Chains A and B, each alone.
Chain A
């Protein structure tokens, strides 16, 4: 009796996904936590998985980092000098946003699907902080400036062709986190497209945490600022005195 029940359950788990016409998608990262320690200079994570692919299928992987407020400033020439004249603060901007894919996004996902799955810079909400404003019609320029500058500092990017498929059953890619990433939760969304439609989605998380000495120093500097200031002075006086004694002329 017991054996019969187990066999049935096993069969159900195998048969049911097929019945809903959904190919199973499993994925994993070789590392779930990235530590920003004293010798941190970026990290590279291996993301791999298995799924049932057909020939024209595509995979897109979106890695997005903790949302932040971002001040965007525009320079103008004033009396021969370039200075910031206009500024706007945006809220909820992902501090990291990379799309890795097997093909160009336009080739694997229909516009409506791209919007539904928030796939692309244009689907990142462009929301001004209350009190901040941009002249009517200048929206596009500021939005592009945000995209351009985030790409320039390596925090945003599109890496077409960086996801490799093997035997129509396996895929792998490297998720590269640069040295200037912000700590927090990173979401890794793996999207499987067929005929322009998303047919499967899998989400993994990466925790980026500050650790070790650098984290301790950062916390003290921000939470116990007066103590940190005094410590910095004592440290400097001690080091200066030591240097004078060591090299007494």
Chain B
């Protein structure tokens, strides 16, 4: 059964789209990640124009973050004050990001920039996760290994505009979360991701937030940042396809339900190792895309 996607302006099999949503939903359920960083490249592999993949994914992440954050709210795992500072940065960054996106699109460079951004971030995150999981698997076998220091002080703690974040038990410069939010906001706009895969490590290692509130707080601000991206992409580039987003979401919701159940049965380190391999595979495919000599050096874009 084919469906004509009104914004992507291509015809696609409905079950392919729902299946893709379901598969990424399953992974995000198993690993507890957002999945945007896999969904956008996979949509591009399936032939969805890269800008539409990015704009649409932002819209879908609004939905998945809303459904994810509710559980965290119930458990009180959201540091709203920290979330708002991150959000201020996120709105700033994503607005710049969408403007940059529109400019790059006009210059005909958006596709390669999207791919390169994914290569860099998937490559870094994938290798870090792989090393981390290998190390913890090895450490579990070596008794007596010691843990490192939990919280380190460095020059970042000397920045001005100090603010107290009760829930995170932190007294740090507000500039720090603002900048983290802004950086992730730019990436969110250009890559069509929530940015949780960068935000979460940054919150733990850079800001020193307790892990319990990290995921809820990151989801909280992702809702508003991706909503901002959805709005601005709709206005500036018309790349948000709600039919595609709706179908992906439908699949993702179902996939995530199975995923969480499977995830509960598997071991953490092995899980992370597996996710790392998936991430690195997608990264590798993207590397081939930009490095191998294309079949045709010329490409066309039919304009209005």
Stretch among B55-63, B177-185, B273-281 lining the A interface: B55-63
Q: Which residues from 31 to 90 on chain B have a C-beta closer than 8 Å to any C-beta of chain A?
A: 59-60, 62-68, 70-71
Given contacts A41-B4, A229-B240, contact A244 B290 (CB under 8 A): no
What is the chain A residue whose CB lies nearest that of B9? A180
Using Cβ atoms and an 8 Å threshold, which residues of chain A touch B242?
A: 217, 231-232, 235
Stretch among A72-80, A191-199, A200-208 lining the B interface: A72-80
Asked if A39 contacts B2 (CB within 8 A), the reply is: yes
Asked if A232 contacts B240 (CB within 8 A), the reply is: yes
Asked if B11 contacts A247 (CB within 8 A), the reply is: no
Q: Which residues from 255 to 304 on chain B have a C-beta closer than 8 Å to any C-beta of chain A?
A: 256-257, 260, 290-294, 296-304
Q: Which residues from 223 to 238 on chain B have a C-beta closer than 8 Å to any C-beta of chain A?
A: 223, 227, 230-235, 238
* Whole-angstrom CA separation of A232 from B112 in the bound complex: 27
Using Cβ atoms and an 8 Å threshold, which residues of chain B touch A222?
A: 238
Separation in Å of the A247 CB from the closest CB of chain B? 5
* Whole-angstrom CA separation of A182 from B201 in the bound complex: 45
Q: Which residues from 233 to 249 on chain A have a C-beta closer than 8 Å to any C-beta of chain B?
A: 233, 235-237, 239-241, 243-244, 246-247, 249
Q: List 25 A-B contacts (CB under 8 A).
A: A39-B4, A41-B11, A68-B304, A70-B303, A71-B300, A73-B108, A76-B297, A82-B112, A82-B291, A83-B109, A84-B108, A148-B298, A149-B296, A179-B11, A214-B243, A217-B7, A225-B234, A226-B231, A226-B235, A229-B235, A233-B230, A236-B62, A239-B63, A240-B65, A244-B67
Given contacts A84-B108, A217-B7, A237-B62, contact A149 B300 (CB under 8 A): yes
Could you give, for residues 1-39 of chain B, a 1 whenever the CB lies within 8 Å of some chain A CB and a 0 otherwise?
111111101110000000000000000000000000000
Known: A39-B3, A81-B291, A179-B2. 10 other contacts (CB 8 A): A36-B4, A37-B4, A68-B302, A95-B302, A232-B231, A236-B66, A237-B62, A237-B223, A243-B249, A244-B71
What is the chain A residue whose CB lies nearest that of B113? A83
What is the chain B residue whose CB lies nearest that of A241? B66
Asked if A239 contacts B249 (CB within 8 A), the reply is: yes
The B contact surface, by secondary structure, is helix
Contacting residue for B4 out of A76, A214, A228, CB 8 A: A214
Using Cβ atoms and an 8 Å threshold, which residues of chain A touch B304?
A: 68-69
* Whole-angstrom CA separation of A42 from B10 in the bound complex: 10
Separation in Å of the A135 CB from the closest CB of chain B? 14
Q: Give the interface centre of A72, A74, A226, A232 by most chain B CB atoms within 10 Å.
A: A232
Using Cβ atoms and an 8 Å threshold, which residues of chain A touch B11?
A: 40-42, 179-180
Asked if A232 contacts B59 (CB within 8 A), the reply is: yes
Instruction: Tell whether A63 is near chain B: CB-to-CB under 8 Å.
Output: no
* Whole-angstrom CA separation of A80 from B291 in the bound complex: 6
* Whole-angstrom CA separation of A241 from B64 in the bound complex: 9
Contacting residue for A232 out of B1, B67, B230, B257, CB 8 A: B230
Instruction: Tell whether B245 is near chain A: CB-to-CB under 8 Å.
Output: yes
Instruction: Tell whether A110 is near chain B: CB-to-CB under 8 Å.
Output: no
* Whole-angstrom CA separation of A37 from B6 in the bound complex: 9
Using Cβ atoms and an 8 Å threshold, which residues of chain B touch A240?
A: 62-68, 249
Asked if B234 contacts A71 (CB within 8 A), the reply is: no
Given contacts A180-B10, A221-B234, A236-B245, contact A73 B67 (CB under 8 A): no
Contacting residue for B116 out of A81, A145, A218, CB 8 A: A81
Instruction: Tell whether B246 is near chain A: CB-to-CB under 8 Å.
Output: yes
Using Cβ atoms and an 8 Å threshold, which residues of chain A touch B253?
A: 243, 246-247
Asked if B70 contacts A73 (CB within 8 A), the reply is: no
Asked if B302 contacts A70 (CB within 8 A), the reply is: yes
Asked if A84 contacts B299 (CB within 8 A), the reply is: yes
Using Cβ atoms and an 8 Å threshold, which residues of chain B touch A87?
A: 108
* Whole-angstrom CA separation of A231 from B234 in the bound complex: 10
Asked if A249 contacts B71 (CB within 8 A), the reply is: yes
Instruction: Tell whether A166 is near chain B: CB-to-CB under 8 Å.
Output: no
Asked if A73 contacts B230 (CB within 8 A), the reply is: no
Instruction: Tell whether A215 is near chain B: CB-to-CB under 8 Å.
Output: yes
Using Cβ atoms and an 8 Å threshold, which residues of chain B touch A149?
A: 296, 298-300
Instruction: Tell whether A190 is near chain B: CB-to-CB under 8 Å.
Output: no
Asked if B6 contacts A221 (CB within 8 A), the reply is: yes
Contacting residue for A236 out of B63, B70, B297, B302, CB 8 A: B63
Using Cβ atoms and an 8 Å threshold, which residues of chain B touch A77?
A: 293
Contacting residue for B3 out of A38, A80, A226, A249, CB 8 A: A38
Instruction: Tell whether A61 is near chain B: CB-to-CB under 8 Å.
Output: no
What is the chain A residue whose CB lies nearest that of B14? A39
Asked if A89 contacts B290 (CB within 8 A), the reply is: no
